[in-house]
Amino acid sequence: MPDQTDHAGMAALSICEALLLAMNDHKLLPESEIMGVLRDAAATHESATGTEAETEAHRTVATIINRIIAGGNSVRRPPE
């Protein structure tokens, strides 16, 4: 997988995260739906198959998404 600092990937992630925040802020999607979208995306990558390199790339993507979920970045949850 290309380095995680790949500029196009960083831009795409930032745009997607901003869209999720806007959807939550404008009450287009509740937090539970946004978290569901993120969990579905992670699960898709966790179950992806292919060559060893492709599988590793998908695992890395799933890890990034799961870190976003754990950090609450996309829904601005208040600190617990």
Q: Which two tokens stand for residue 20?
A: 């999720």
Q: What is the pLDDT of residues 46-64, one digit of tens each?
A: 999 999 999 999 999 999 9
Query: What is the domain partition of the chain in residue ranges?
Result: 30-73
38 and 74 Cβ atoms separated by less than 8 Å: yes
Please give the full DSSP string across 9-44, using - where no structure is assigned: HHHHHHHHHHHHHHHHHTTSS-HHHHHHHHHHHHHH
pTM for this model (two decimals) = 0.77
Q: What is the pLDDT of residues 23-38, one digit of tens each?
A: 999 999 999 999 999 9
